[in-house]
Amino acid sequence: MSSSMKAREIAVTLPHPALPGADWADCFEVMVSEPGLTAEIAARRAFERMPKWVSRLMALRNLMVRPFGLQGDPDAAAAGAPRVGMFPIVSNDPDEIVLGFDDRHLDFRIVVQTGALNHQQTSVRMATLVERHNRLGRMYLAVIMPFHKLIVASTLSRV
C-alpha cells in the first residue's frame, strides 16, 4: 500500500456528472501498489485521519465562516447522512465515491476514482468540483486555494 510516485495534476472536463453546474475543478492522480483498491477505501484512508495541521486549519476556517452564515460544522452539513471523514457521501460505487455538500456560497464535490492499471497497481484520482453561487463563493475559493492544493497532496499521500 505505498504510493509509487507523487500526485500529479491532470485535466478535468466540465461539465462533470457529479456536479453539472461546476465552474471550477481540479484533479490529482497517484499510483499505488495495491491491486483491487476500491474508491471508498481510498477515500477513507485519505480523509478519516487528517493531519493535525489540516484539522487546525479547518477549525480556523469554521470560526471564520460562521459570521457569514456558512456551514462550518460537518455534523450539521451531513444531517445524519453517512460520511467519509467530515464529508457526506453523495454516491458510492466500487470504482467511484462522490462526497460533498451544498451551501449558500458554493456547492462542492470530491470525486475519488480508482482504476486497475495492472496486477500490481491502482490509479487513484481525486477531483474537486466547485459551483460558485456568488461573490462570497468566488472570494472563498480564492482564499483557500493555496491550502487546498497542500491538503489534496497530503490526503493523496495517505492512500
Q: Which residues pair with 101 in a beta bridge?
A: 108
Is the pLDDT at 5 greater than 70? The verdict is: no
- Say which residues have a Cβ less than 8 Å from residue 111's Cβ, sequence separation at least 6: 16, 18, 96, 97, 98, 99, 125, 126, 127, 128, 129
pLDDT in tens, 127-149: 999 999 999 889 888 988 888 88
Q: Which residues pair with 32 in a beta bridge?
A: 3, 122
Q: How many contiguous H segments (helices) and E segments (strands) does the chain have?
A: 4, 7
Strands (E), 68-144: 83-84, 87-93, 96-102, 106-116, 122-132
CB 111 within 8 Å of CB 22: no
Structural domains present in the chain: 8-157 (3.30.530)
> In this structure, what are the phi and psi dihedrals at residue 74, rounded to the nearest 5 degrees?
-60, -30
- How far is the C-alpha of 70 from the C-alpha of 62, rounded, in Å? 8
Q: What is the mean pLDDT of residues 105-118?
A: 94
Predicted model pTM = 0.86
CA 48 to chain centre: 12
pLDDT in tens, 38-78: 999 999 999 998 778 777 877 777 676 666 666 655 555 55
